[in-house]
Structure 1
Amino acid sequence: MNPVAKTLIVIGGVLVLLGLLWQVGGKWLPLGRLPGDIVIEKENMKFYFPIVTCIVISLLLSLISWLFRLFR
């Protein structure tokens, strides 16, 4: 099988697992509602920017990437 196809299949599987984990684990892990996320509510508008959630996800992905490079 083509290496690009294998990589896309693996990435797709990982994304599906992460989506399921997010759905089930969302009750205990409040990603998207962390302290520091910006929420502005007005009469006809709600603006939401999850800056702290983005930083946490970025740090986790950086750590995972670093671990992969460490053991390669």
Structure 2
Amino acid sequence: MARWFIIAGIILIVIGLILWLAPGLFSWFGRLPGDIRIEKENTRVFIPITSMLLISIILTLLINLIRYLK
């Protein structure tokens, strides 16, 4: 279990460094077709349906790949 926490921590550090060094790299994320954005005078609602589906698919593929290689 500790090994998975270390791996998850390293992955989070790498993602953080990528976002810090190249902030424009993921500027498209959250603006995909299917992400709902409602803006009115005093209210803003953002529902990232497509973005979350994309993350879900990528994580599912990664987890299945890791399980397959194990």
Gaps of 5+ in 1: none
- State the partner residue of 1:70: 68
User: Is 1:35 matched up with 2:26?
Assistant: no
TM-score (norm 1): 0.78
TM-score (norm 2): 0.80
Query: How many pairs align?
Result: 69
Provide runs of 4+ in structure 1 moved above 3 Å. 22-26
Q: 1:5 aligns with which of 2, 6, 28?
A: 2
**1:68: how far off?**
0.9
CA contact (8 A) 2:19 2:25 kept: no
More helix by share: 2
Identity of aligned residues (%): 38
